[in-house]
Amino acid sequence: MANTADKLTKLIFNRAGFGRYMSREETVEHLNPLIEQHMRLNLAYRDVTQRITRPSVAERLRGFRKVAEMDTGKLMEQVFSCGGTAYNGTALEPDDVHLGDTDDEMLFNLHDQEQALHDAFKEEAENNHHQVRSDAMLNLVVTNSEARLHFLEQQTRGKQRPSSRTNA
């Protein structure tokens, strides 16, 4: 309940102009590294969906990937609306992402990347952004990440984490 009250207080104070909030430029500076991290995660989902041997899991991950890619696009639009230039991912090479060779290895590594993204966005959502829609977008990304994390936790629950880790 306190979390809801905190969010309501934050919204009221920001709308009324009280308190410190980020400038548009600061919002751009904060969002671009998160966009890059999100794009890396999207590539990880691409890698896993192309190589995992369980069709039902691959199909579910493809659906999650579509939502994640839409979230990335919305974040980029937010940067543009703040007058900035969004990170575009041209330096990322899809073939550089390899999350492992077995289904379990890929799913555990994907979970790790998803958890890192979730934590980064949750932390960023605590900041007071200039535009309320930036805060709303960050909270949406956190919610979508939580859905993916829940699924990945179900897929890895009760399994032994493979010992080797690969690049991501």
Model confidence at 125, pLDDT cuts 50, 70, 90, reads confident
pLDDT surpasses 60 at 8: no
Model confidence at 15, pLDDT cuts 50, 70, 90, reads very low
| pLDDT at 23 (0 to 100) | 83
Please indicate, yes or no, whether the overall pTM of this predicted structure exceeds 0.85: no
Tokens of 64: 């999650």
pLDDT tens digits, 17-67: 455 567 888 889 999 999 999 999 999 999 999 999 999 999 999 999 999
The region, left, alpha or beta by phi > 0 then psi within -120 to 50, assigned to residue 83 is: left
Task: Specify whether the CB–CB gap between 44 and 113 falls below 8 A.
Answer: yes
Please list, in sequence order, all residues whose beta carbon lies within 8 angstroms of the beta carbon of residue 96, skipping any fewer than 6 positions away.
43, 167
Instruction: Sketch the domain layout of the chain as residue ranges.
Output: 22-156
Topology annotation, domain 22-156: Ferritin (1.20.1260)
Please list, in sequence order, all residues whose beta carbon lies within 8 angstroms of the beta carbon of residue 126, skipping any fewer than 6 positions away.
none
